[in-house]
A and B are shown apart, each in its own frame.
Chain A
């Protein structure tokens, strides 16, 4: 059994080049929004806007400038699935499509997914959505296929400034801790790790070094498991899943006919 693997993303060295987004799409052959003919968002340099079924990596841009430009920061952060040790998506998946791999990562098996969407609501980070090409829920696999072949995930491989670090979680945590201390030593007192300890959903196998509050990056300060809200609703959910599953199987079959 290999040891748990994951990402440590140091947002202080992210230059927002989006090479991770493109490398991810190229390796995983994901389509672009509207065939690439999307609209300017007007929100800084972020035009893909969110993680979803066809965006498994997403770079966020946060502009922080006062009116006089005395203080100014442009924060960038490459967001991705957190591969939670206690993963809400995995917990609610009625078909067993979402599995924990031998690398302690969380992967949706597209051929088992029935597109019920439960996992979408269950993810406290808003990572998952339906890929319109497959009709199934999709998200980052941490390049499970590449990892099986002993390779680095495409995004980490492409990152020019080592903002995205890939490796055994144990080593990544040491590296991240050292970096936080280095930044503190240089007076950047705001630097801290998000999701590196077990308090957050048992630990995030993709954790971050941030310099501002989680909310600034669109991250929940205290993410919760869906079970806390879904104690009684879960039965209905399971029943619903069966129905949706049957419908999904039928629609999958018909989609195969039209060669999507």
Chain B
């Protein structure tokens, strides 16, 4: 971001919530870059920005769509060769889409293929989709008019709960695989998945090509419409659009930064997708100072999706085996999840190496490498449905580590769920609201819930802090950094590593003599992380706490090694095999620990100040230590940098390889002139000008034929709760979002005058999330001691509220109290011709800690995006009254 000429922070309050990372946009600003903040409130980020563009919470996609429209209709964009070359060659703009596809423009806000959703598994009727799409008509048209195999198979979404969409195409592609003999080697299986390439029109004139479809789709997202939907003054919007375009091109780049204010919506992934579309149009992908930065909220939350605590994926973004898909055998899983073209053609190698890591010597060619032992999901097991399930008595016990659900979404439902558990383990640094929900929650104190009625047995395990054990962080730019134990944890405090390791060892012992077939997998699970007592410690090193596992052994398991020669580590994921000879938990981390004694995450070699570079010696970034992904796009068709100022990697004709400031994200010796071989699998199926090597067609996707369950193009929908009708379409909200219908989860209908005010929730610099790490620290609590609600003087006057007055904030779920903070940093919006007031509340408070306050998440509801099940805490409606 320090290399950017313009940084657009949107869906994030970067200065407040990521103050340390914000130094990079500030560095860019010092070098002359423009900073733009698009946000409902004027925050500490806005204070640093050259332009603050205010928008109503929940209208981000209309704003971004307006930028797409502006760019595609601008004379400069339409005439400058850079943009045309980039879009025509590096994106799927020229690809022809099936004749059956109907856009949201044709169907007043929905796409072709919409139908009713029916639950498939009676044991788990909790997937909660309002509707579902059959994505068949969204596919590319092929020469033979067959359905093209579609691209990025990494499971970043939960299509598994919607069997009709992706699964159908998977099923079709599974058929030839069954004809081929199961491997290893699995190459014939992958070859059997090859489909004819999609049709293209390089003139971009075909009305069915992606370029024309995108242009039509956004034609009504004019500056006037942006103002009508978002409330952002037209001149401010145009200033943003002009600055963005002026800061993009061969010689200049713009980056976007977003966080949970883009994700936490019923169409969050589509908002991010719209930014990706925009950045691809502008050539702002794969280049220095470009891209879309997902600012992640915790230290190592990136790591927690790479080595996932997500229910729907296994290590390295592979799909979790699912009872809802054709995943009954290993061969069928591979057929369903492997793409014949692009780098994901190597999926069998990643998967077999993963199975070897799970089951070790017990994983053999004859037993499908233990695939049958692997657990399978039966639906959406993410946070919200799990708490609904708890309320229904479907869940017996819970291990709650590093989370505080008693203050989470629709908190009354969550606490009610906790009260239905038989047992609850809370492992945290402090006795959080979740640990004491049974005695100090407001409903227990008030007597609404009787203390004796809660039967949950609660266990509290005190946690060690990060400086009290060895381990690694993976931060927001995919970089692993090792950290060392600096102090002994006090008393009984133990690390999460210790807890998990000891729990696993005890469970292994408990199951050791079981003869039940269902326990065979657990018995076969390898668990060999005890420290080697003979290993000497370096002088000055704090010795590990007794019972801690050896962190380096875990890192080695993740990195990979040769199954028959465990002391030999796998040096790169290119060396992984599909025959069981390699063991690797997470292929994307392969290379971080290439040999004993070479822990690259511990490397701390900085580039000399003032020299351009990627800091390749500092930590280790997956994949393969690349700092910018898809960086082939930083060079033109001939492999030359687009400009001297923005050079990153390029083709060296003499050495006949890609070189540059970063690790090239491309086949190392494949020249720019290389042609795609339509009969080949993997990267050979892509040409020397296809930078997006994880995609089946090597292109950045403006239009997304598969992978998303709510449409191939970003479309503005109102949030589940909105004070206005959707000005763009008859369709009010996403037709397929998730809603868990319960009496204690009622929603406000659009335009309900009892709840006319838009509310958004957020964090402050001074506190951390639910407050466990900050509300117990007096140095932090004195900085922000009490819960408040920010509102404009206009709303305050209307409601006769003075600064610091107590106010009551209500939704159909609950009502809470907070002090008013009246400020012009908030403003009323004019939406579709009428005034809409907007308030905001930080959600850090609860009933434990040095300072307490009402739980803001009692106001929120159990609704979610259909792709990733994230809730909609960023945009809903409420009422506000003086107490």
Asked if A3 lies at the interface with its beta carbon under 8 angstroms from chain B, I say: no
Select A40's contact among B48, B52, B777, B804, beta carbons within 8 Å. B804
Q: Which of A67-75, A87-95, A189-197, A248-256 contacts B (4 or more CB under 8 A)?
A: A67-75
Whether A38 and B23, one on each chain, are in contact in the complex, defined by CB atoms closer than 8 angstroms, is no
Closest to A182 in B: B30
Q: Is the CB of A32 within 8 A of B765?
A: no
- Kindly list chain A residues whose C-beta atoms are within 8 Å of the C-beta of B779: 21-22, 25-26, 32, 36
Query: In this assembly, does A154 line the interface, its C-beta being within 8 Å of a C-beta of chain B?
Result: no
| Known contacts A63-B823, A74-B825, A36 near B44 by CB under 8 Å | no
Q: Are A36 and B804 neighbours in the complex by a CB distance under 8 Å?
A: no
Residues of B770-787 whose CB lies within 8 A of A: 777-786
B299 to chain A, nearest CB (A): 15
**Which one of B12-20, B185-193, B622-630, B654-662 is at the interface?**
B12-20
User: In whole angstroms, what is the CA distance A153 to B785 when docked?
Assistant: 27
Whether the Cβ atoms of B22 and A44 lie closer than 8 Å is no
Say whether A103 faces chain B, with CB atoms less than 8 Å apart. no
Residues of A contacting B52 in the complex (Cβ-Cβ under 8 angstroms)? 72
- CB proximity of A217 to chain B, nearest CB, Å: 15
Residues of chain B within 8 A (CB-CB) of A65 are 42, 824-825
The 9 closest A-B pairs by CB, nearest first: A36-B778, A32-B778, A65-B824, A36-B781, A74-B47, A40-B786, A32-B782, A42-B804, A15-B15
The residue that A37 contacts in the complex, of B42, B46, B47, B850, with Cβ under 8 A, is B850
CB neighbors of B among A59-108 (8 A):
63, 65, 67, 69, 72-76
The interface residues of chain A lying within 8 Å CB-to-CB of B329 are none
* Min distance, Cβ A184 to any Cβ of chain B, angstroms: 14
Pairwise interchain contact A36-B851, C-beta atoms closer than 8 A: yes
Q: A148 an interface residue at 8 Å Cβ cutoff?
A: no
- Among residues of B, the one whose C-beta sits closest to the C-beta of A34 is B782
For B785, give its contact among A37, A63, A69 (CB under 8 Å). Answer: A37
Assembled-state Cα–Cα distance A72/B42 (Å): 9
Contact B766 A63 (CB under 8 A): no
In the complex, chain B residues whose CB is within 8 Å of the CB of A19 = 19
Interface string of B100-117 (1 = CB under 8 A from A): 000000000000000000
The answer to whether B778 and A16 touch across the interface, beta carbons within 8 angstroms, is no
**Is A231 close to B, CB under 8 A?**
no
Please indicate the chain B residues that have their CB under 8 angstroms from the CB of A147 in the complex.
none
Q: B803 on the interface (CB 8 Å rule)?
A: yes
Can you list 27 A-B contacts (CB < 8 A)?
Answer: A15-B16, A15-B19, A15-B22, A15-B44, A15-B48, A16-B765, A17-B15, A17-B765, A22-B783, A31-B778, A35-B850, A36-B777, A36-B779, A36-B781, A36-B850, A36-B851, A40-B819, A40-B821, A42-B821, A45-B784, A47-B782, A47-B784, A63-B824, A72-B824, A72-B825, A75-B47, A162-B26
A18 proximal to B (CB < 8 A): yes
CB-CB < 8 A to A45: which residues of B? 44, 764, 784
Tell me how far the C-beta of B440 lies from the nearest C-beta in chain A, rounded to whole angstroms. 17
Kindly state the separation between the CA atoms of A161 and B25 in the bound complex, as whole angstroms: 10
| Neighbouring B residues of A31 by C-beta, 8 Å | 778
In the assembled complex, B827 has its CB within 8 A of some CB on chain A: yes
Q: For the complex, what is the distance from the CA of A17 to the CA of B767, rounded to whole Å?
A: 11
Interface status of B788 (Cβ within 8 A of chain A): yes
Closest to A185 in B: B32
Besides A16-B47, A40-B785, 19 other A-B contacts (C-beta < 8 A) = A15-B15, A15-B45, A18-B783, A22-B783, A25-B779, A32-B779, A32-B782, A33-B782, A36-B780, A36-B785, A37-B778, A39-B785, A44-B823, A45-B764, A47-B785, A48-B783, A63-B824, A65-B42, A72-B824
Of residues 793 to 807 in B, which have CB atoms within 8 Å of A's CB atoms? Answer: 803-804
Q: How far is the CA of A164 from the CA of B847 in the complex (A)?
A: 36
Residue of A nearest to B775 (CB): A36
**CB-CB < 8 A to B781: which residues of A?**
32, 36-38
- Give the residues in chain B near A244, CB-CB below 8 Å: none
> For the complex, what is the distance from the CA of A65 to the CA of B822, rounded to whole Å?
13
Whether B785 and A22, one on each chain, are in contact in the complex, defined by CB atoms closer than 8 angstroms, is no
| Interfacial residues of chain B within 811-832, with CB under 8 A of chain A in the complex | 819, 821, 823-825, 827
Q: How far is the CA of A21 from the CA of B783 in the complex (A)?
A: 9
Determine if A214 is an interface residue (Cβ-Cβ < 8 Å): no
Q: Which residues of A contact B764 (CB under 8 A)?
A: 45
In the bound assembly, the distance between CA atoms of A45 and B47 in angstroms comes to 13
The answer to whether B782 and A38 have CB atoms under 8 Å apart is yes
Cβ contacts under 8 Å, A32 to chain B:
778-779, 781-782
**Which A residues are in CB contact (< 8 Å) with B785?**
36-40, 47
A160 beta carbon closer than 8 Å to chain B:
yes
Q: With A25-B779, A32-B779, A74-B44 in contact, do A40 and B788 touch (Cβ < 8 Å)?
A: yes
Does the CB pair A161–B22 fall under 8 Å?
yes
List, in ascending order, chain B residues with CB within 8 A of A201's CB: none
B789 to chain A, nearest CB (A): 11
Q: How large is the interface on A (under 10, 10 to 19, 20 to 34, 35 or more residues)?
A: 35 or more
B4: shortest Cβ distance to chain A, in Å? 16
**Residues on B with beta carbons closer than 8 Å to the beta carbon of A36:** 777-782, 785, 850-851
A42–B784 Cα distance when bound, in Å, is 11
**Which residue among B16, B47, B764 has the maximum number of chain A CB atoms within 10 Å of its CB?**
B47
CA distance A22 to B42 in the complex (A): 24
A19 to B, closest residue via Cβ: B19
Interfacial chain A residues near B42, Cβ < 8 Å: 65, 69, 72, 74
Asked whether B47 lies within 8 Å of A15 as measured between CB atoms, the reply is yes
CA distance A17 to B766 in the complex (A): 7
A22 to B824, Cβ gap below 8 A? Answer: no
Would you call A200 an interface residue if the criterion is a C-beta within 8 Å of the partner chain's C-beta atoms? Answer: no
CB-based contact B20/A160 at 8 Å = yes
Q: In angstroms, how far is the closest chain A Cβ from the Cβ of B793?
A: 8
Known A40-B785, A47-B782, A47-B783; judge A18-B777 contact (CB<8 A). no
B855-879 CB contacts (< 8 Å) to partner A:
none
Task: Report whether A74 and B26 are in contact in the complex, using a CB–CB cutoff of 8 Å.
Answer: no
Say yes or no for A225: interface residue by CB 8 A criterion.
no
Q: Shortest Cβ distance from B292 into chain A, in angstroms?
A: 22
CA–CA, A36 and B786, complex, Å? 11
A143 at the interface (CB under 8 A from B): no
Closest residue to B823 on the A side, CB-wise?
A: A63
Kindly state the separation between the CA atoms of A206 and B5 in the bound complex, as whole angstroms: 32
A13 at the interface (CB under 8 A from B): yes
Closest chain A residue, CB of each to CB of B819: A40
List which B523-547 residues lie within 8 A (CB) of chain A: none
Question: Considering only CB atoms, which chain A residue lies closest to B26 in the complex?
Answer: A161
In the complex, the chain A residue whose C-beta lies closest to that of B43 is: A74
**A72 CA / B37 CA spacing, docked (Å):** 13
What's the Cα separation between A17 and B763 when bound, in Å? 12
The residue of chain B having its C-beta at the shortest distance from the C-beta of A16 within the complex is B44
Residue of A15, A33, A34, A65 contacting most chain B CB atoms (<10 Å): A15
Question: CB distance A18 to B782 under 8 Å?
Answer: no
Q: Is the CB of A74 within 8 A of B46?
A: yes
Contacts of A69 in B (CB 8 A): 42, 54, 824, 827
CA A73 to CA B784, docked complex, whole Å: 21
In Å, the complex CA distance between A162 and B781 comes to 25
- A25, A40, A47: residue with the most chain B Cβ atoms closer than 10 Å: A40
Q: Knowing A32-B782, A42-B803 are in contact, say whether A13-B26 is a contact too (CB < 8 A).
A: yes
Residues of B within 8 A of A47 (CB): 782-785
CA distance A16 to B19 in the complex (A): 9
**Contact: A37 with B851, CB < 8 Å?**
yes
Q: Which residues of A contact B26 (CB under 8 A)?
A: 13, 15, 161-162
Q: A231 to B23, alpha carbons, bound, how many Å?
A: 49
The docked-state distance in angstroms from the alpha carbon of A4 to that of B686 is 63
Instruction: Please name all residues of chain B whose beta carbon is closer than 8 Å to the beta carbon of A48 when the two chains form the complex.
Output: 782-783
Measured CB to CB, the closest approach of chain A to B199, in angstroms, equals 50
Contact indicator A35/B778 (Cβ below 8 Å): yes
| A residues in contact with B783, CB < 8 Å | 18, 21-22, 47-48
- Shortest B736–chain A CB gap in Å is 37
Minimum distance in angstroms from B389 CB to a CB of chain A: 38
A22–chain B nearest beta-carbon distance, Å:
5
CB distance from B276 to the nearest CB of A (A): 28
A160 proximity list for chain B (CB < 8 A):
19-20, 22-23
Give the nearest-CB partner of B853 in chain A.
Answer: A40
